[in-house]
Amino acid sequence: MGISSNRVENFECRETVLTIPAEAMLPPPPQQEEEIHKVCLPPKQTTFQKLKHKLSEVFFPDDPFYKFQNQSWLRKVILGLQSLFPVFEWGPGYTLALFKSDIVSGLTIASLAIPQGISYAKLANLPPIIGLYSSFVPPLIYSILGSSRHLAVGPVSIASLVMGSMITEAVSYNEQPTLYLKLAFTATFFAGVFQASLGLLRLGFVIDFLSKATLVGFMAGAAVIVSLQQLKGLLGISHFTSKMQLIPVMSSVFHRKDEWSWQTIVLGFIFLLILLGTRHISIKKPKLFWISAAAPLTSVILSTLLVFLLREKAPGISVIGHLPKGINPPSLNMLYFTGPQLALAIKTGIITGILSLTEGIAVGRTFAGLKNYQVDGNKEMMAIGFMNMAGSFSSCYVTTGSFSRSAVNYNAGAQTAISNVVMSAAVLITLLFLMPLFHYTPNFILAAIIITAVIGLIDYQAACRLWKVDKLDFVACVCSFFGILFISVPMGLAIAVGVSVFKILLHVTRPNTIVLGNISGTQIFQNLDRYRDASRVPSFLILAIESPIYFANSTYLQERILRWVREEEERVKATNDSPLKCVILDMTAVTSIDTSGIETVCELRKMLMQKSLQFVLANPGGNTMEKLHKSDALERFEFNGLYLSVGEAVKDISSLWKRLP
Amino acid sequence: MGISSNRVENFECRETVLTIPAEAMLPPPPQQEEEIHKVCLPPKQTTFQKLKHKLSEVFFPDDPFYKFQNQSWLRKVILGLQSLFPVFEWGPGYTLALFKSDIVSGLTIASLAIPQGISYAKLANLPPIIGLYSSFVPPLIYSILGSSRHLAVGPVSIASLVMGSMITEAVSYNEQPTLYLKLAFTATFFAGVFQASLGLLRLGFVIDFLSKATLVGFMAGAAVIVSLQQLKGLLGISHFTSKMQLIPVMSSVFHRKDEWSWQTIVLGFIFLLILLGTRHISIKKPKLFWISAAAPLTSVILSTLLVFLLREKAPGISVIGHLPKGINPPSLNMLYFTGPQLALAIKTGIITGILSLTEGIAVGRTFAGLKNYQVDGNKEMMAIGFMNMAGSFSSCYVTTGSFSRSAVNYNAGAQTAISNVVMSAAVLITLLFLMPLFHYTPNFILAAIIITAVIGLIDYQAACRLWKVDKLDFVACVCSFFGILFISVPMGLAIAVGVSVFKILLHVTRPNTIVLGNISGTQIFQNLDRYRDASRVPSFLILAIESPIYFANSTYLQERILRWVREEEERVKATNDSPLKCVILDMTAVTSIDTSGIETVCELRKMLMQKSLQFVLANPGGNTMEKLHKSDALERFEFNGLYLSVGEAVKDISSLWKRLP
């Protein structure tokens, strides 16, 4: 065996038997001493191989083609079809029993989807009928393409709110209804294109940047804004701001007191209380989910009847009015690819696309987790994307999987995407025959339905948990909440994503450095602050750096390490300990290094050498070793201080000191 | 002694002697077995203590007040003065010998500073005299405040170019000279304010985000643009674009062929070749640095004489013309704090401020490194900031430490900042008495001086090194190069910073996961791919995650780990190895975790339990442990799989299996 003066010339170590270099002038170590292992470079790869590996990790981390390996030609075609159209996967095994469950759940969600569809369309400043169109075509497409069995597809509150607020900033529906519709369909088209291309290009990780913390704040902010906006319907105000921020909405409410209609207020708040009550019951007893599921449609029917009967006595209650019969008209000719508003349509499409994707994927994953099946994120993105593209051709606006309706779907026993088909059929019947019945449906009931639906988005318990566990996550949450409340939806989102990214950068810019001590009787070196049975190794300062060494932190790390050394020297002086002779940098957590980082390491070595201190790296990672090697940093500084572990470094260096007093 | 079923109730471990919980139903382990250590939580800290610690790490990593500890009151005042005005530190020990060195070096850099000052002012589209003003006041201020002994202060090419290009986009000097001057001084003022506040608020790390890679590309791009712009002077073109991008500059050159003046071209290129030749000599033989140092002034004198003599025969050669005598006029009244261009002035100030700060600090650190003294980044920022604020009151534009002149200063033997004072004195004499002599100085010589000065910024060797060591650093470099060449200076910078930040995010979004094996006879677990003598531990899959677990990578990590498990199971099946029973996650490099990360860990545990696999964490960091604890993730999932090291985990779990067949 033998000690290694880890010289750089022979980095490739294939065997454990190490050769003693001829120039080793040191006396041979005692034979019973344990072997010291060399630090190896990673196996050589060409730039192309590395790029290929990196790209496959970035785009294909789940190795989507593994199923196709070693399969016959026919089987590959079938597998390909199945992965493109999940309907081929579960379709052949579909039974009557499953169909019975799907009919029940499909009808249940239809009873929610019809009133919610009408309401959410109003949230997006669109005609109510668009909400029903959007509950008809997209669910059919999804049932063929989607891989979630419980997702209930249709318009959702957040995407409706964002689309409405963004388009209304430029165009008013009341003044230019056709242009507004064109922009809405075009934005839907771009949302679909964006979603599908995220899936196709396997860039699904983009939505990961909307962290949960951000979403909690964002959802809560949106829910508050949406609820306050519903005061328009609940109070019967006819002139209301089109802005989405807290201040103009509240000033609209209080500057229009003359428009408040007491009949609307009384009826509106009664129905709101009923709806909130049913919601509360279903939360307390999840088995009674059907109460809150049935409540919206029942309330619509009751309130419509009531308003119809009172139409002479209380003519001030505003109603939906005439709705055209018939299925979705084609809207390909409404798409808008030139002109000054194109940029707005694209921007709106991308933002609503991201938001609806985030909701859809999260909902799909949640229910897949409950039933133990997998939802492939990239495939879901394509499904949702194609569904929205198809929607934009057939007078639908942005749709995705709704959390509340999917929960009802799940509780009502949905088994496959057929429940979406059943829901579509119910919507179809409504569109063909029942539209005139909605003539007297009052606007206040739509407002009450929206408030009941969005109130659940305010998850203050989640916010408390964030505060408890991670203060910076809480800050991101609060920023997105107030951002959407006081500035605007896109700015709120941008601020929240900014805070999340800042958090990552802060961690990289100011990484932890910790002092390690040995846990006696072991080769384990641990944080001195945390482990009382860890103790300092005399004459050594062992520092662990807890981050990659990058341009963003190299200056800091250099200063900080020099300060540790200074403080250790002062401590040694004050306690009359044995003087500091060697600084070991535990590089285990230094998972990457860049050119600035390499310079810092070299610079540190130089500065510590001037103080007559040895400077040694322990367990540098493959990536780090490779870069130190390529940059000639090892050779240039005659780097002979590389060890595989802190333990071996301490053992080897102390035995050297013993032999060379 | 005793094995621990690491239950969660008693996390606080103060002693190594572990108690065996009463409910431990397992047979006691053999007594000779080594102790298994518990994972401890970090010592408890209140939120306030944590915040204080975090803030002190962010803002005071160098512990700037340590010098003041345990000092007398008087000593504290003296130390305070010295740290505010470094002149008090070196001033008292100043000797005649030092002064002699400083005189020589000061005069040497003055001979460079005068022609460069005039030239760089032209680069910023400012009157040449402003360049001399800027070489007079700021060096005096710096000599009192600055802590570098070798920095030669004055206008520099990059900041001049950027200021010129940014202001010219809005205001033309030829059309509105007063407004242009006002904007330049105001931008200088804001640059100073920004620099000083970065220093005061200890936010110096902001400039770290301009990584070296970015700067290499940026400098090269700027040098190319600046050199091409000088074709105006070298070819004698009078109508030239004010734009800074490659395409308009080149089209200006070739669409104005009728304005080319052959006398200017001949003389200009002769002098350019002479200057480049002297530069080449000085690079080859650093001792002959004085040749390139003296060349610009000599060329100015020679060319001025020549043009004066030829003034009748070649009247087409454009010259500087009349320059007013006298020292800097006050310019406080020129500062511009209202009006439509204020935003531009602030933006220009911030960008030139960052760029000049980066250059100044880098130059100061380089020469401090060569002479082994420290330059405090935050203090330097304040010095440069106050110098620019003072400059903006006295008709100076943005100044900083110039790399080329500082190198000459260093080579000429400068010892202290007094060399800057000597240079100022020389500039003062020039301003007072010698200005008329520059009347016939031709513009082509200024162009030649600028080209010679900036050509050194094109560091293609550094770019090659980047390519060799770090491909993504090279991409950042190329992006900033082409960004500045084809788009604009601020966009080029923004793109390059974006690429650098993207690199950090990519590392976090797609972290490495590596499979570890045991190096036989040791407790060391290392990368199986890298170490041939590492071997798999049967029935275990040991994965090391090389990054914090964040919202940005939690989905990826979950998928990736499940894929590792799937692949391991397939491998085991194919090779008839002992079946997989336990997955160990080595958390050493997981330096941080957020709420999404915690969910991922819990989710993974659930999914692996469904596969009847044990899931164990090894060496979770303090931060991670604390968050797992606070989020109740440990309790909720009855987490009893925490070990201090992979070695202990393997040992303990295998011994459990032996006892429970």
What is the tens place of the pLDDT at every residue in B459-517? 888 899 888 888 888 888 898 899 888 888 778 888 878 888 888 888 888 888 889 99
From B377, B563, B631, residue closest to A469, measured CB to CB? B631
Lowest mean pLDDT among A251-265, B152-166, B453-467: A251-265
Residue B30 in this model has a pLDDT that exceeds 60: no
Quick one: tokens of A535? 């103790």
Q: According to the model, what pLDDT value does residue A3 have?
A: 38
pLDDT tens figures, B602-614: 888 888 888 888 8
Residue A186 in this model has a pLDDT that exceeds 90: yes
> For chain B, how many residues are written?
661
What residues of A are in contact with residue B645 (Cβ under 8 Å)? Answer: 522, 524
pLDDT tens figures, B287-304: 888 888 888 889 999 999
Residue A27 in this model has a pLDDT that exceeds 70: no
pLDDT tens figures, B525-546: 988 888 888 889 989 999 999 8
Quick one: tokens of A530? 């945390």
The minimum CA-CA distance between A159 and chain B, rounded to whole Å, is 22
Look at residues B554, B625, B548, B632 and name the one whose alpha carbon lies nearest to residue B593.
Answer: B548
Whole-number percent of chain A with pLDDT over 90: 23
From residue A38, alpha-carbon distances to A518, B55, B533 in Å are: 21, 40, 11
What residues of B are in contact with residue A595 (Cβ under 8 Å)? Answer: 211-213, 465-466, 469-470, 473
Q: According to the model, what pLDDT value does residue A639 have?
A: 52
The beta strands (E) that lie in B457-571 are given as 513-519, 525-527, 534-535, 540-545
Q: Classify each residue of B335-370 as buried b or exposed e, where b means 16 or more C-beta atoms within 10 Å of its C-beta.
A: ebeeeebeebbbebbbbbbbbbbbbbbebbbbbbee
Tell if the CB–CB gap between A58 and B510 is shorter than 8 Å. yes
The minimum CA-CA distance between A15 and chain B, rounded to whole Å, is 7
Contact (CB, 8 A) for B466 and B218: no
Long-range contact set of residues B243-248: C-beta below 8 Å, sequence gap at least 24: B243/B165, B244/B161, B244/B164, B244/B165, B244/B168, B244/B488, B244/B489, B245/B485, B245/B486, B245/B487, B245/B488, B246/B485, B246/B486, B247/B486
Query: What does the pLDDT average to over B44-54?
Result: 82
Residue A392 in this model has a pLDDT that exceeds 90: yes
Q: According to the model, what pLDDT value does residue A9 have?
A: 36
What residues of B are in contact with residue A377 (Cβ under 8 Å)? Answer: 555
Look at residues B502, B531, B499, B500 and name the one whose alpha carbon lies nearest to residue B518.
Answer: B531
Query: What does the pLDDT average to over A616-644?
Result: 78
Cα-based angle A312, A315, A317 (whole degrees, multiple of 5)? 135
CA A219 to chain centre: 13
pLDDT tens figures, A459-501: 888 899 888 888 888 888 898 899 888 888 778 888 878 888 8
pLDDT classification of A25: cutoffs 50, 70, 90: very low
Tell if the CB–CB gap between A504 and B506 is shorter than 8 Å. no
Cα-based angle A572, A577, A583 (whole degrees, multiple of 5)? 60
What residues of A are in contact with residue B563 (Cβ under 8 Å)? Answer: 61-63
Contact (CB, 8 A) for B547 and B588: no
Query: What does the pLDDT average to over B629-639?
Result: 69
Q: According to the model, what pLDDT value does residue A153 have?
A: 94
Bridge partners for A527 per DSSP = A516
The minimum CA-CA distance between B109 and chain A, rounded to whole Å, is 29
Q: Which of B522, B558, B564 to mutate to test the interface with A (most CBs of A within 10 A)?
A: B522
Local structure of residue A18 (DSSP, 8 states): P
Q: Which of A50, A590, A594 to mutate to test the interface with B (most CBs of B within 10 A)?
A: A594
What residues of A are in contact with residue B508 (Cβ under 8 Å)? Answer: 504
Look at residues B599, B626, B602 and name the one whose alpha carbon lies nearest to residue B11.
Answer: B626
Whole-number percent of chain B with pLDDT over 70: 94
Distance between CA atoms of residues B183 and B576, nearest Å: 77
Tell if the CB–CB gap between B504 and A504 is shorter than 8 Å. yes
Residue A643: which H helix or E strand, with range?
A: strand A642-643
What residues of A are in contact with residue B208 (Cβ under 8 Å)? Answer: 509, 551-556
Tell if the CB–CB gap between A57 and B14 is shorter than 8 Å. no
pLDDT classification of A396: cutoffs 50, 70, 90: very high
C-alpha Rg value of chain B to the nearest Å:
33
Tell if the CB–CB gap between A58 and B506 is shorter than 8 Å. yes
Q: Domains for chain B: give ranges and CATH numbers.
A: 94-475 (no CATH), 510-659 (3.30.750.24)
- DSSP H stretches of helix in B238-286: 246-255, 262-284
Tell if the CB–CB gap between A552 and B470 is shorter than 8 Å. no
Tell if the CB–CB gap between B553 and A588 is shorter than 8 Å. no
What residues of A are in contact with residue B521 (Cβ under 8 Å)? Answer: 34-35
Tell if the CB–CB gap between A504 and B507 is shorter than 8 Å. no
Whole-number percent of chain A with pLDDT over 70: 93
3-state secondary structure of A26: coil
pLDDT classification of A637: cutoffs 50, 70, 90: low
Look at residues B450, B466, B491, B448 and name the one whose alpha carbon lies nearest to residue B218.
Answer: B491
What residues of B are in contact with residue A54 (Cβ under 8 Å)? Answer: 510
Amino acid (one-letter) located at A39 = V
Q: Which of B210, B592, B632, B648 to mutate to test the interface with A (most CBs of A within 10 A)?
A: B592
**What mean pLDDT, rounded, does chain A reach?**
84
Q: According to the model, what pLDDT value does residue B661 have?
A: 63
Q: Which residue has the higher pLDDT, B493 or B145?
A: B145
Tell if the CB–CB gap between A631 and B14 is shorter than 8 Å. no
> For chain A, how many residues are written?
661
The minimum CA-CA distance between B365 and chain A, rounded to whole Å, is 11
Residue whose entry in the numeric block shows the structure tokens 């006050």: B330
Q: What number of other Cβ atoms are within 10 A of residue B573's Cβ? A: 11
From A205, A530, A531, residue closest to B509, measured CB to CB? A205
Q: According to the model, what pLDDT value does residue A638 have?
A: 54
Q: According to the model, what pLDDT value does residue A636 have?
A: 57
**What mean pLDDT, rounded, does chain B reach?**
84
pLDDT classification of B3: cutoffs 50, 70, 90: very low
Residue A192 in this model has a pLDDT that exceeds 90: yes
Distance between CA atoms of residues A116 and A160, nearest Å: 11
Q: Which of A371, A509, A551, A631 to mutate to test the interface with B (most CBs of B within 10 A)?
A: A551
Q: What number of other Cβ atoms are within 10 A of residue B531's Cβ? A: 24
From A63, A509, A552, residue closest to B563, measured CB to CB? A63
What residues of A are in contact with residue B528 (Cβ under 8 Å)? Answer: none
From B529, B530, B589, residue closest to A591, measured CB to CB? B589
Residues B506, B54, A496, B211, CA torsion sign: negative
Lowest mean pLDDT among A233-242, A353-362, A438-447, B442-451: A233-242
From B63, B204, B507, residue closest to A548, measured CB to CB? B507
Residue B218 in this model has a pLDDT that exceeds 70: yes
Residue B346: which H helix or E strand, with range?
A: helix B342-371
Residue A410: which H helix or E strand, with range?
A: helix A403-411
From B62, B211, B511, residue closest to A559, measured CB to CB? B62
Q: According to the model, what pLDDT value does residue A7 have?
A: 37
Residue A449: which H helix or E strand, with range?
A: helix A443-455
Query: What does the pLDDT average to over A614-640?
Result: 78
From B204, B510, B529, residue closest to A42, measured CB to CB? B529
Quick one: tokens of B358? 């980066």
Q: According to the model, what pLDDT value does residue B469 have?
A: 84
Query: What does the pLDDT average to over A410-438?
Result: 91
Q: Sort residue B335 into left (φ over 0), alpha (ψ -120 to 50) or beta.
A: beta
Q: Is B470 exposed, middle or buried (0-12, 13-18, 19+ CB in 10 A)?
A: buried
Backbone φ and ψ for A576, nearest 5 degrees, come out as: 55, 35
A211: nearest CA partner in chain B: B551
3-state secondary structure of A619: coil
pLDDT tens figures, B556-614: 898 889 889 988 998 899 998 889 999 999 998 888 888 888 888 888 888 888 888 88
Query: What does the pLDDT average to over B279-285?
Result: 87
3-state secondary structure of B401: strand
B471: nearest CA partner in chain A: A47
Residues A386, A387, A393, A396, CA torsion sign: negative
Bridge partners for A525 per DSSP = A518
From residue A126, alpha-carbon distances to A113, A173, A191, A540, A543 in Å are: 16, 8, 17, 71, 62
Tell if the CB–CB gap between A509 and B208 is shorter than 8 Å. yes
Contact (CB, 8 A) for B141 and B387: yes
What residues of A are in contact with residue B623 (Cβ under 8 Å)? Answer: 512
Tell if the CB–CB gap between A547 and B591 is shorter than 8 Å. yes
3-state secondary structure of A363: helix
Distance between CA atoms of residues B542 and B19, nearest Å: 28
Distance between CA atoms of residues A264 and B193, nearest Å: 58
B524 Cβ contact partners less than 8 Å away, ≥ 6 residues apart: A37, A523, A644, A645, A648, B518, B647
Tell if the CB–CB gap between A559 and B61 is shorter than 8 Å. yes
Q: According to the model, what pLDDT value does residue B625 have?
A: 85
From A50, A469, A523, residue closest to B523, measured CB to CB? A523
From B66, B512, B627, residue closest to A469, measured CB to CB? B627
From B470, B563, B648, residue closest to A595, measured CB to CB? B470
Tell if the CB–CB gap between B61 and A556 is shorter than 8 Å. yes
Q: According to the model, what pLDDT value does residue B62 have?
A: 74
Residue B374 in this model has a pLDDT that exceeds 80: no
pLDDT classification of B154: cutoffs 50, 70, 90: very high
Q: According to the model, what pLDDT value does residue B19 have?
A: 35
The minimum CA-CA distance between A381 and chain B, rounded to whole Å, is 15
- DSSP H stretches of helix in B85-211: 87-90, 96-123, 128-133, 137-145, 157-168, 177-200
Tell if the CB–CB gap between A596 and B211 is shorter than 8 Å. yes
Strand B540-545 versus strand B582-586 pairing type: parallel
Lowest mean pLDDT among A161-175, A196-210, A419-433: A196-210
Q: Which of B48, B69, B358, B469 to mutate to test the interface with A (most CBs of A within 10 A)?
A: B469
Bridge partners for B442 per DSSP = B319
pLDDT tens figures, A516-548: 999 888 888 888 888 888 889 989 999 999 888
Local structure of residue B204 (DSSP, 8 states): G
Q: According to the model, what pLDDT value does residue B639 have?
A: 52
Tell if the CB–CB gap between B519 and A37 is shorter than 8 Å. yes
Q: How many CB pairs under 8 A join A and B?
A: 235
Q: According to the model, what pLDDT value does residue B637 have?
A: 52
The minimum CA-CA distance between B344 and chain A, rounded to whole Å, is 23
Tell if the CB–CB gap between B473 and A623 is shorter than 8 Å. no
